[in-house]
Structure 1
Amino acid sequence: MTVHIPVSLGTRSYGIHVGPGLISEAGKLLKPFAKGPVPIVTDSNVAFLHLDRFIGVLQDEGIEVHPIVLDAGEGTKSFAWLEKLIGQLLAAGVDRGGLIVALGGGVIGDLTGFAAGILKRGIAFAQIPTTLLSQVDSSVGGKTAINVPEGKNLVGVFHQPSIVIADTDVLGTLPRRELLAGYAEVVKTAALGNADYFSWLEKNAVQALNGEPEAIVRAVAEACKMKAGIVARDERESGERALLNLGHTFGHALETATGFSGRLLHGEGVSIGMALAFQLSVKLGLCPAADCERLIAHLKMVGMPSAISDIPGERPSPEVLIAAMAHDKKVKDGKLIFVLARRIGETFVTGDVPVDAVREVLEV
């Protein structure tokens, strides 16, 4: 049932492996890249669930491992934790020809990838994503970053992994909220460019989210295939890759306004952001209202948030959200950049959006 997906980037090409039980195969898959001591960077939650088994699998292949356990949570994607991690990587003795392993969700993958990209001017790293969000999105494509008070992912580098190993069995350990947050990126991939995939999700999402093996492998693999193709054609986001930001201009602003806190997970922000992007598209006369209603109906059907009012606590004002958008790295020539929809499966990038229309959508 394992699916292998190539990411074709010339000398930076690598493979994504998707399937059940792949952590048991990780030693064999990582062995060709493991030279010298191999730091395994993870967080306290993942360490409790998976670290001992992962270490054993690598040691069975004769790989010398150095576990590094960081605090769990979005707050770890910061300059302070980046500095701590670099110190620990240097203490572990990793050299420029070695390998660093990121075992965890998007926070660990982003932070570890960034550290690997800048340490000794670049060290190879492997992504072992343990959340649905990281399996279908952040582990693929080489984007690495940390957050700053001004916004999310504003400091980082492009640094492609050497291999991605997505074990779908580990998704069974996720809290339901985390699983649904990851599913937002699955829906996003379908909504931005694959109407057939979206239709398949409408019929099979419940089985996939309940852990039915074939359904969850296909859900993850299809999302990875689509992202791999886009990354291969536009590695540095100069064109088509920007479509992967569907829902993210709104979503990142919501995350910033809620202080990167437990009030709103990244995938929840993307879920609401997708709904807002489709609503904005309808308001501008670009997309049929029926497609927007269909998207929102699917989000609600699986239990995902689709409106700003779904966020607990005080509602951020349109002014606060628009100010947060102004700091987004997608701003170009002073204009806010949005991914808008013509229909489910067809999207485009534009900077020609009236701020008043954005404000109206945010007030609903």
Structure 2
Amino acid sequence: MSDVVHVDLGARAYDVHVGRGLLARAGDLIGPHLRLRRVFVLTEDRVAAHHLDAFRAGLGAIEAPALALAPGEGTKGWAGLTQAVEWLLDQRCERGDVVVALGGGVIGDLAGFAAAILRRGVRFVQVPTTLLAQVDSSVGGKTGINTRHGKNLVGAFHQPVLVLADVDLLSTLPARDFRAGYGEVMKYGLLGDAAFFEWLEEHAPNLETDAALGAEAVRRSVAMKADIVRRDETEQGDRALLNLGHTFGHALEAATGYSDRLLHGEGVVIGCALAFDLSARLGLCAQELPGRVRAHLHAMGLPRDLRDIPGDLPDAATLVDLMGQDKKVIDGRLRFILARGIGAAFVTDAVPPDVVRAVLDASA
């Protein structure tokens, strides 16, 4: 059984299937999008070991040559992109073919960008295998790679033609990866749905073991993102709200070298806590709200502050400088997503740098 969330983008509209057993139905779901009975799969080593055989079995008679890249954020760069594109060309992937991204956010972003630039654009399908990818990066068409200047600074908007979010795949995730992905789930409640955050406060500790609760959390997150993307596909307005926690989080990821010291979702949750700290310091929200956010992060076994990140970090001034490379900088002014309350986020560039540094210093 699965639910279907429709991403209404006119000629680029597509469905996101959320539920159990979707990998076994892959051929039936992907088949209508194919001109030839073949797809080209981009994945990574760990995912391939767990899921590639099952995915191929679900495809049935559809051919599925695959390239398994090295795992980790380091793959999402120029070298990984070149490897993926050259392999697709070696395989004679045509403009009418379909590329499949089988993996987490790194593979989804990289494969989507490779599809966007290959032969000036080929179609692709997202089969996200992590919680983070299922609720966030697989939906909305943001694709790209990292550079030495920062995260996701090179990329394109390229919508998939289909997303298959099979929650059964989440059972193979290490506990840390599942919890890190949960950061993107929590973000939806914090930015625009107070009732969802309250639901998460009650049910989130059981998401990892209860597939029905997990599917509901994924469905509600995807539905919220689909609505925002429908209103603002290329992030000219409301879609920027989805970056709650990311301005801080991306700077922390850069500061830790995109390494296992800090997973993307962990950077996001620390960023969310800091965004509420900043909002409270500026008098925008109630003073007790940062504590409520941190209490929930503690209940989920997630980091809450800079001091929870292993190893040394740059000072606050250097972290602010790293934020200056963020995609949300406009006319040299850094935009923050702040909050007037749970579920009441907004975008502003009226944030004094000295207050940002004070928040970072307190967290460290």
Q: Which interval holds the TM-score relative to the shorter structure?
A: over 0.9
SS of residue matched to 2:196: helix
Deviation at 1:93, TM superposition (A): 1.7
Which position in structure 2 is the counterpart of 1:192? 191
1:275 to 255, 273, 276: 273
> What residue in structure 1 maps to residue 214 of structure 2?
216
Alignment partner, residue 120 of structure 2: 121
- Shift in Å at residue 57 of structure 1? 1.6
Q: What is the aligned residue count?
A: 361
**Is 1:231–2:215 an aligned residue pair?**
no
Matched letter for residue 3 of structure 1: D
SS in 2 for 1:65: coil
SS at match of 1:289: coil
2:329 to 331, 351, 356: 331
Task: Give the structure 1 partner of residue 307 of structure 2.
Answer: 309
Which of 294, 319, 322 does residue 320 from structure 2 map onto?
322
Which residue of structure 2 lines up, in the alignment, with residue 181 of structure 1?
A: 180
Matched to 2:276, the amino acid is: F
Residue 34 of structure 1: how far off its partner (Å): 2.2
How far did residue 35 of structure 1 move? 2.5
Residue 38 (structure 1) aligns with: 39
Structure 1 vs Structure 2 CA RMSD = 0.8
Counterpart position of 2:94: 95
- Structure 1 residue runs of 4+, over 4 Å off? none
SS of the aligned residue for 1:177 comes to helix
Please give the TM-score of this superposition, normalised by the length of structure 2.
0.98
1:215 aligned counterpart, secondary structure: helix
Contact 2:243 2:337 in 1 (8 A): yes
Alpha-carbon deviations, 1:318-346, whole Å to 9, x = none? 12211110111111111111000000000
Alignment partners' CA distance in 2, 1:208 and 1:178 = 13
Conserved 8 A contact 1:248-1:273: yes
Q: Per-residue deviation at 1:97?
A: 1.0
How far apart in 2 are the matches of 1:174 and 1:263?
A: 18
Per the TM alignment, residue 276 of structure 1 is displaced from its structure 2 partner at its CA by: 0.3
Counterpart Cα distance in 2 of 1:70 and 1:40 = 11
Matched, 1:55 2:53: no
* Preserved CA contact (<8 Å) 1:17 1:166: yes
Letter in 1 for 2:202: K
Q: What secondary structure is seen at the aligned counterpart in 1 of 2:54? A: helix
1:87-110 per-residue CA deviation (whole Å, 9 max, x = no partner) reads 100111211111000000000000
Contact 1:258 / 1:316 at 8 angstroms: preserved in 2?
Answer: no
Letter in 1 for 2:246: H
Q: Give the 5 Å matches for 1:85-164.
A: 85-164=84-163
**C-alpha distance in 1 between matches for 2:2 and 2:297:** 28
Deviation at 1:64, TM superposition (A): 1.7
Matched, 1:258 2:259: no
CA distance in 2, matches of 1:184, 1:294: 15
1:4-41 Cα shifts (integer Å, max 9, x gaps): 00000000000000001111111110001123331111
Identity %: 54
Question: In the alignment, is the contact (CA less than 8 A) between 2:18 and 2:218 conserved in 1?
Answer: yes
Match of 2:68 in 1: 69
Shift in Å, 1:306: 0.8
Letter in 1 for 2:222: C
Q: What does residue range 286-305 of structure 1 map to in structure 2 within 5 Å?
A: 286-305=284-303
In 2, distance between residues paired with 1:322 and 1:295?
Answer: 23
SS at match of 2:311: coil
Q: What is the CA deviation profile of residues 71-95 of structure 1, one whole-angstrom value per residue up to 9, with x for unaligned ones?
A: 1110010111111110100111211
Deviations 1:205-229 (A, max 9, x none): 01112x2021001011000000000
Q: Distance between the aligned counterparts of 2:106 and 2:325, measured in 1?
A: 21
- Equivalent residues of 2:255, 2:313 under 8 A apart: no
* Post-superposition offset of 1:316: 2.5
What runs of 5+ residues in structure 1 fail to find an aligned partner?
A: none
Match of 1:21 in 2: 21
Any unmatched runs of 5+ in structure 2?
none
User: Structure 2 CA distance, aligned partners of 1:101 and 1:121?
Assistant: 17
Q: Distance in 1 between matches of 2:314 and 2:300?
A: 25
Does the CA-based 8 Å contact 1:171-1:179 persist in structure 2? yes
Asked if 1:205 corresponds to 2:178, the answer is no
Which residue identity lines up with residue 350 of structure 1 in the other structure? T
Aligned partners of 1:353 and 1:196: how far apart in 2?
A: 28
Letter in 2 for 1:19: G
Residue type matched to 1:109 in 2?
G
Residues 24 and 57, structure 2, Cα contact 8 Å, conserved in 1: no
How far, CA to CA, are the matches of 1:49 and 1:34 in structure 2?
25
Q: Separation in 2 of the partners of 1:147 and 1:344?
A: 31
